Structure 1
C-alpha cells in the first residue's frame, strides 16, 4: 500500500480525466487492458486498495481477501455480475454501480443492431461491394406496427422503449422490479413476450435465475421469424440453441454485442452466419459514456468512503 495516499485500483488501463480529477487525494493504480483474476489479486496484495473501480476482469473472494482495507467495489458501468457480491456483503464491502451512465450508448447500439437485422444492412453492404444490385429481389422488414418485447426495464431498456415507440412499434416489457412505467410500455409476462413479439431485446443483468433465458424451449415458443438483440450479457442466451434456431428459420436474425465467453473464441460457431450481426461488446463504448461511467464510478466510491 502507498505510504502517502490510500489506493484506488482500476481494473483497466485508464480512467477518464474528469474521474481522475475527483481522486486527487488517492493514488490510482491500473491493472492493464485485460487483467486476469490473478493479476487483480496480486495488485491487491501489493497495494491494499481502499476502493476498486471495475472495468475489466473479475473481482472475487481472493482479491477481497488480499485487500483488508477495501471498503467499496465500484463498477465502471451498470453490470455487477463480475463482482462476488456475496463475499463483499460478508466482508462489509459495498458494491456500487454507475447505473444509467452508459444508457444512451447501449440503447442506441441495441437499436442499431435491431435496424441492421430488420434492414439487412450488413448483407446488403457486402453484396453491393461485390458488385450486386438486389433491388428487384430484396425486401426488408418494416418495424412500424411490429411488436418488440423487452426483457429488463432499467435505464437502458426504457430508453430503447422510447425510441421504439417513436418508430411506431408496440412495446411489451418484462421486469418484476420496474415501477411507474411510461404509458407506451405494456407490462407483460415472459410467455406473452415470446408469443407476441416480432423482436426481442435483452436489457437485464445476468443472474443465476435467468442464465440461458433464451434457450431451445423459449425460442421455440417465440413467433417464427423473430429478431433477437442482446446488448446485455452473453450468458442470457444458450448460444447453441440460438444458432440452431437461426439455421431452422425460427429466428430470422440476431444482433449480438455480448457473448458467453469474452473475448469471443475464434473460430466460433457464429462466425460466417450471414443472419447474425456481431459486435465486440462495445455498446457502451463511446467517448461520452467513457466519461460518464468513470465519473459515476469515482463519485459512487467516494460517497461510500466519505460516508
Structure 2
C-alpha cells in the first residue's frame, strides 16, 4: 500500500463512504479503509491516523492506540459506537450528525406504522400460501385519530410526531427525561402511561444504562391491548424474550424491528420465526439520499476539525479550547 504524504492528513473510515464524500476527502487528505471493522483491525489501523470517521462500533480502548488522532466523527447519530468519555480524556473532539438521516427514519416509521396497523406483512404472506381466500383474515385498523407514543423526543422523535399528527390526526404522547417540544404537538407523560394509552409506540431513545431493556416484561404487561411497537433506535432497548411473550399472549398486536442486540441478528434467532414481527436489517436511516448526506457531512465535519474550525455539532465542547491550542502548535510545527 502506498504511504501517505506527510503533508496530507490520514483519515481512517471504518467502512466505505459515498463516492462523492470520498472524492471530497481526497482533495486534501489520504483516505484509509481497513480490511474489516473488527476491534483488533481498527486498533492496528488507527495508529497513524489523524482523523477517524465512525460507521462501526469502536473498541473501548481505541484511543489508547491513536497517538496522532485529532478528530473523531460519527457517520450518523448514535454515540454508543464511540467511547466519548475516553475521547474527551484524550483531548479528541467528537462530532456527530443528528439531522443527516432524520427524514429517512421518519419515512420508515410512517411506512411501517401503516404496514403493521393494516397487518400487511401477514396479509402478504398469507396471500402467497393461501391465495385469494386470505383477503378477509387480517382487516387491520386505521391510524386516523389513534394515539401515538414517542419514547425519546429528540429531533427524530419530534419529526415522527409531527409527521404522524399531520398525516393521520393522531394524538401524540411523549416521554423523555429532557423533554423538549416547542411545537406543542407532543403531550409529555410518564412512560407507563404512554404504554397504557398508545395504539402505536415508536422508540427513539439512545442506548444508555438507563434505557437498556426499557421495554421489559413489566412494561409490556401494561401495554394497551392490541398496540403495535416499532424500534428503529437501538436493539438493546427491548427485552426480546418479553417481546415474544407479549406477541404470543396477544397483548401486543405486532412489532417492527430494524435494530437488534446483537447485530447482525443470527439466522437462528427466535425473532425470525414469529409471524407478527416485521424485521429489517438496520436500514431505517439508510435511504439513497441520506447515505450520501451522512458521508458528505461526516467528511465536511472532519475537514473542519482538521483545519481548526469548530464542527457544527461538537459532542464534547469542554475540550475545544485546549484542542485549539494544541492544533495551533501542530500547525506551526508543520510550517517550519
Q: 1:94-115: per-residue Cα shift (whole Å, max 9, x none)?
A: 2210111000101111222222
State the partner residue of 2:14.
11
Contact 2:24 2:299 in 1 (8 A): no
Pairwise CA distance, 1:37: 0.9
Paired with 2:53 and 2:248, the residues of 1 have a C-alpha distance of 41
Pairwise CA distance, 1:136: 3.6
Paired with 2:134 and 2:26, the residues of 1 have a C-alpha distance of 56
Paired with 2:151 and 2:10, the residues of 1 have a C-alpha distance of 38
Please tell me whether residue 40 in structure 1 is matched to residue 45 in structure 2.
Answer: no
State the partner residue of 1:226.
227
Structure 2 gap segments, 5+ residues each: 309-336
Contact 1:232 1:258 in 2 (8 A): yes
Runs (4+) off by over 4 Å: none
Paired with 1:306 and 1:178, the residues of 2 have a C-alpha distance of 35
Paired with 1:133 and 1:6, the residues of 2 have a C-alpha distance of 64
Please tell me whether residue 60 in structure 1 is matched to residue 59 in structure 2.
Answer: yes
Pairwise CA distance, 1:257: 0.2
Q: Normalising by structure 2, what TM-score?
A: 0.86
Q: Compare 100-109 and 179-188 and name the one that shifted more.
A: 179-188
Pairwise CA distance, 1:30: 1.0
Contact 1:16 1:295 in 2 (8 A): no
Name which one, 1 or 2, has greater alpha-carbon Rg: 2
Distance 1:136 1:25, change over 3 A: closer
State the partner residue of 2:244.
243
Q: 1:73-130: per-residue Cα shift (whole Å, max 9, x none)?
A: 1111101101111111111112210111000101111222222211111211122223
State the partner residue of 1:29.
32
Counterparts of 1:4-153 in structure 2, within 5 Å, are 4=6, 5-18=8-21, 20-32=23-35, 34-45=36-47, 48-56=48-56, 58-130=57-129, 131-153=131-153
Paired with 1:191 and 1:124, the residues of 2 have a C-alpha distance of 31
Distance 1:23 1:179, change over 3 A: farther
Specify the SS of the correspondent of 2:124: helix
Contact 1:233 1:258 in 2 (8 A): yes
Paired with 2:93 and 2:230, the residues of 1 have a C-alpha distance of 32
Paired with 1:178 and 1:232, the residues of 2 have a C-alpha distance of 17
Paired with 2:125 and 2:87, the residues of 1 have a C-alpha distance of 48
Structure 1 gap segments, 5+ residues each: none
Paired with 2:179 and 2:23, the residues of 1 have a C-alpha distance of 33
Q: Normalising by structure 1, what TM-score?
A: 0.93
State the partner residue of 1:157.
157
Q: Count residues with an aligned counterpart.
A: 303
Paired with 1:205 and 1:62, the residues of 2 have a C-alpha distance of 21
